Amino acid sequence: MTAAVPGGRYGSMRAVPTVSRWWESRTDPQRIDLYTRWSFYGWLGTTPLLAVGIHGSAQRPGSAAATAFLVGAVAVATTCVVLARAGFLARSEGRPLPSVPLVVTAVAAAGTSALAAVAYGSDEQDSSALVWGLALPPAMALVATSTVWSSPLLVRCGVAVGVLVGCAAALLGSAPAAAAVLAAVIGATVVLLALAFRFTVWVLDVVVEMDRTRGVQLQLAVAEERLRFARDLHDVMGRDLSAIAVKSQLAGELVRRQRPEAADEVADISRIAEQSLREVREVVRGYRTADLGSELAGARSVLRAAGVDCTVAGEDGGADLPDRVQTALAWVVREAVTNVLRHSRARTCSIALVVDGGTARLTVTNDGVTSDDPRWGSGLTGLAERLGTASGTLTTAAEGGHFLLTAALPVGDAA
C-alpha cells in the first residue's frame, strides 16, 4: 500500500541535494527574498571592478592617490554590503537603518570620492575619470540605503550627489555649462539607479504581504467554519436545553407535592433529551460528511485560485456511485488537494474518476514535487485506513517531479 523505501544493510540513503532541489524547496516569497538580497550584494560587490574601469580610463594611472582610490572602492563595497544586510534586517523588524554602519559607509564613500578628486582632478584629460570617480562611491551608498529609505529621500540624495559632482567639476576647472550638464547627468543616473533597487525591495514587500494575507485568509476560513459549527450547535441545543431545564424544575416541584403529573414531565424530559441527541448527531454528521461532487467542484475552484491549472475528468460518473463510495472518494479528493497545496510547488493537477469492472478508481496527479520519496504522513495513513474499512486501497508514486495518488474501491462491496 505504501511506496517502497530503499533499504538494505545501511538503511535508506539519499543523494546530496542539488542546487535545483535547494531552490525548488523554497516558497515564492523566499525565492524573491534571496533574489533581492543577492542582487544588492552582487551589484555592490562590483564597486572595485567599476573603480578599475574608471582607473583604466585615466591618463596617469600610476599615481599613489589612484591606488588609494582603488583601495577605497574595496572599502566602499564592503561597508555597503554590510549596510544593505543590516537594512534588510531592520526592514523586516520595522526599524530604521542602524546608525553605525550608515556612518561608516558615508565616511568610506566620502573619503573614496575625495581620493578620486586628488587622483584625477589635476589633469583636464582625466575629467571623465574624475566625474565617475566622484559619483561612484555615493551612488553605491545610496543603493545600500534603498533597502529602508523612501523614494523621495533617495531622489533628494541623488540630486544632491549630482550637484556636488557638478560643483566639484567646476572647482577643478570645468566650464559652468559643462559642470551643470554633468550635475544633471550624474544626478539622474544616481536617482534612477537607487530607485531601480528600491523597486525590487517594493516587489519583495508586496510578495511577502500577499503571502501573509493568504495565511490570514486561511485562518479566517477556519474561524468562520468554527463559528458556523458553534452557531448550528447553539441553534439545536439552546432551545432543547432550556426546555429541559424548565421541565426539570417543574418535575421537581411536582415530586415534592407528590403529584402524579411528575412522571409525565420526567418522560417528556427524556423525550426532549433523545430528540436533542439525534439533532446533534445530524449536525456532526453533516459537518463530517464529504460529498464527492462538491469536493470535485471545490478542488477545481481552490486549485485554480491558488494558480494551479486543474482538470477534472469523469465527474459525471460519480453521481451513480453508492453513497459510501462517494463519501470515501470525496475524502480522497479533500486530502489530495490539501497535499497539493501544502507539500508541492504544483502548476498543474489532474483528477480522473473511472468506474470499470465493478471498481471505482480515482487518480490525482500533480507536478511540482521536490522529492522522489513519497513518504506518508498522518493524513495519507488515516485515508488508507478509511479506505481499508471499505475494502479499498490507496497507493502513491513519485517520479520526475510528479506525484500520483490512486484510490480504488469496489462498488459492490461499498454499496
**Residue pLDDT, tens place only, 147-186:** 999 999 999 999 999 998 888 878 877 778 888 888 899 9
Read off the pLDDT of residues 296-309 as tens digits, 9 standing for 90 and up.
887 887 777 667 88
Mean pLDDT of 223-244: 70
> Can you list the alpha helix ranges (DSSP code H) found in 121-175?
127-145, 151-171
pLDDT at 13 over 80: no
Question: Which CATH architecture is the domain 214-288 placed in?
Answer: Up-down Bundle (1.20)
Q: How confident is the model at residue 9 (pLDDT cuts 50, 70, 90)?
A: very low
What gap in Å lies between CA 157 and CA 209, rounded to an integer? 28
CA dihedral angle for residue 161, residue 167, residue 168, residue 169, rounded to 10 degrees: 110
pLDDT at 184: 92
120 beta partners: none
The number of beta carbons lying within 10 Å of the beta carbon of residue 365 is 19
Residue by residue, DSSP assigns 294-363 as HHHHHHHHHHHHTT-EEEEESTGGGGGS-HHHHHHHHHHHHHHHHHHHHH---SEEEEEEEEETTEEEEE
What are the tens digits of pLDDT across the range 251-264?
888 888 888 888 88
CB-neighbour burial class of residue 65 (10 A; exposed 0-12, middle 13-18, buried 19+):
middle
pLDDT value for 67: 87
Residue 26 has pLDDT above 80, yes or no: no
Whether the predicted pLDDT of 239 surpasses 70: no
Buried residues in 378-410 as b, exposed as e (16+ CB within 10 A): eebeebbebbeebebebebebeebbbbbbbbbb
Q: Where in the chain is the domain with CATH 3.30.565.10?
A: 292-414
Strands 402-410 and 393-399: antiparallel
Q: How far apart are CA 185 and CA 163, in angstroms?
A: 10
Nearest residue to 313 via CA among 290, 333, 339: 333
CA atoms within 13 A on the CB side of 219: 6
Question: What does pTM read for this prediction?
Answer: 0.58
The CATH number assigned to the domain with range 292-414 reads 3.30.565.10
Q: What integer pLDDT is reported at residue 78 of this predicted model?
A: 95
User: pLDDT tens, 62-106?
Assistant: 578 888 999 999 999 999 999 999 999 988 888 898 999 999 999
Using alpha carbons, select from 161, 143, 110 the residue that is nearest to residue 44: 143
- pLDDT at residue number 62: 58
At 287 the pLDDT is: 57
* Domain ranges in the chain with CATH number 1.20.5.1930: 214-288
pLDDT at residue 19 is higher than 70: no
As a whole number of angstroms, the distance between CA 379 and CA 382 comes to 5
| Whole-number pLDDT of residue 46 | 93
Q: Would you state the pLDDT for residue 415?
A: 37
Q: Is the pLDDT of residue 390 over 80?
A: yes
Nearest CA to 243 out of 281, 270, 279, 280 is that of 270
* Residue 226 φ/ψ region, left for φ over 0, alpha for ψ in the -120 to 50 degree band, beta for the rest: alpha
What local confidence, expressed as pLDDT, does residue 351 receive? 93
Do residues 370 and 344 make contact, with C-beta atoms less than 8 angstroms apart? Answer: yes
Query: Which helix (DSSP H) or strand (DSSP E) does residue 191 occupy?
Result: helix 176-256
Element (H, E) at 14: none
Q: What local confidence, expressed as pLDDT, does residue 144 receive?
A: 93
How much is the pLDDT for 71? 93
Give how far Cα 244 sits from Cα of 178, 263, 304, 408, Å.
96, 14, 49, 47
pLDDT at 126: 58
- Which range has the top average pLDDT, 71-80, 121-130, 333-342? 71-80
Region 129-143: mean pLDDT is: 90
Mean pLDDT of the chain: 81
The mean pLDDT value for 321-344 works out to 84
Calpha distance 269→280 (Å, rounded): 16
Confidence of residue 236 (pLDDT cuts 50, 70, 90): low
Sign of CA dihedral 236, 239, 243, 249: positive
> pLDDT tens digits for 265-291?
888 888 878 877 877 777 666 655 567
Is the pLDDT at 410 greater than 60? The verdict is: yes
pLDDT band at 125 (very low <50, low <70, confident <90, very high): low
* CA dihedral over 158, 163, 168, 173, signed as positive or negative: positive
Residues 6+ apart with CB under 8 A from 106: 141
> Which of 6-20, 64-78, 189-203 is the least confident region?
6-20
* Residue owning grid cell 589633469: 123
